[in-house]
Amino acid sequence: MPNTNHSCPEEEAIVLTKNYREKYPDQSRCEFFSRDAFEDLLANPEVIGIRIYYGLDDAGKQHLVMVGVEECECREGNCDDLSKIKQGGLSCPSFCPKANPLNPQ
């Protein structure tokens, strides 16, 4: 399995989110998914992680699509997606966090 330490220094996260906002000013800045959505995907004992896809609806609005990933020999990153899928996160703008370094508004 590839490196699973997904830690990110705040300074790097600030740069990443700023770059995204500047390049895609008309897209959602983030999406909120409830804990239940993650727990539902992770409840399957075959799931070792969650893969998140980028998607566009018919109006061109970006959405995140999450799916559980099964155990495999992931040396090449080709683990299979499982059938349970989550979509429909609450998008910002509309459902935004208070101003913070990742979303200064």
Q: What six digits make up the tokens of 58?
A: 């018919």
Give which of 45, 34, 35, 56 is closest to 82, Cα–Cα.
Answer: 45
Where residue 89 falls among pLDDT bands split at 50, 70, 90? confident
Q: What six digits make up the tokens of 27?
A: 């897209």
Q: Residues 79, 69: contact at Cβ < 8 Å?
A: yes
Phi, psi values for residue 38, rounded to 5°: -70, -45
Could you tell me the residue ranges of all domains in the chain?
Answer: 27-92
Residue 60 pLDDT > 70: yes
Taking the C-alpha atoms of residue 2 and residue 48, their distance in angstroms, rounded to an integer, is 12
Amino acid at 48: I
* pLDDT tens readout for residues 10-59: 899 989 999 999 998 988 888 889 999 999 999 988 888 888 898 988 98
Residue 90 pLDDT > 90: no
Taking the C-alpha atoms of residue 59 and residue 80, their distance in angstroms, rounded to an integer, is 29
